[in-house]
A and B are shown apart, each in its own frame.
Chain A
């Protein structure tokens, strides 16, 4: 149990375009999901907390208008990187909380050309 999926697993886009990443809890309902960003050889950096039916809570320094988060159902949260630029290239990971334990998706590698 507690399986989290992400789609796509990798994406390449042109600078200035928008990219949407989906995070799904496959066998449970998740009122709270999280979005992380991970740079090479570093730990996970929390970007935002996504709550079903309400606005996401962003960490300090994360641009709300650039990283749009929608948690429209108990099994789906989406992260849209708007007007992507090369500096947005990174590995993005989502997680979903079951009671107090977070289970992670496999991640999405975004490359912006």
Chain B
């Protein structure tokens, strides 16, 4: 079974700074997908970014980018120019085949004004 580990339960950063959230996973599969979701205080889960394992290029979405290290099974999320609206729980998730989405335990990120 796949596992996802987020080793940082909480983080905080000053507004406009850059922050990196870590995620590692364990799998024996080769072709899979990785996701970052954010859950703000409203509790609506929002897709932040998606990475296909077969792609070597790191995914980016505006201020959000990932550092995908397949051999190391690492999938960190970098948030640049952080904004107050980035305050949320961030969940890393793994998906393979037609199986269920496996979530990490989450990182609570607070942006300090």
Contact = CB atoms under 8 A, between A and B. Distances in A.
B13 to A, nearest CB: 20
Nearest to B95: A100
Contacts of B46: 104
Contact of A104 (B44, B100, B106): B44
A34 B95 contact: no
Interface in B35-77: 35, 37, 42-47, 50
B50 A104 contact: no
Interface residues of A, number: 17
A46 B100 CA distance: 8
A54 interface: no
Contact of B47 (A34, A44, A101): A101
Contact of A107 (B37, B44, B104): B44
B91 A102 contact: no
Interface string A86-113: 0000010101000011111011000000
Contacts of A43: 91, 103-106
Contact of B35 (A34, A101, A107): A101
A95 B93 CA distance: 14
A75 interface: no
B11 interface: no
A43 B102 CA distance: 10
B84 interface: no
B45 A95 contact: yes
14 contacts: A46-B100, A100-B33, A100-B95, A101-B33, A101-B47, A103-B47, A104-B37, A104-B44, A104-B46, A106-B42, A106-B44, A107-B43, A107-B44, A107-B45
Interface of A: 34, 38, 42-44, 46, 49, 91, 93, 95, 100-104, 106-107
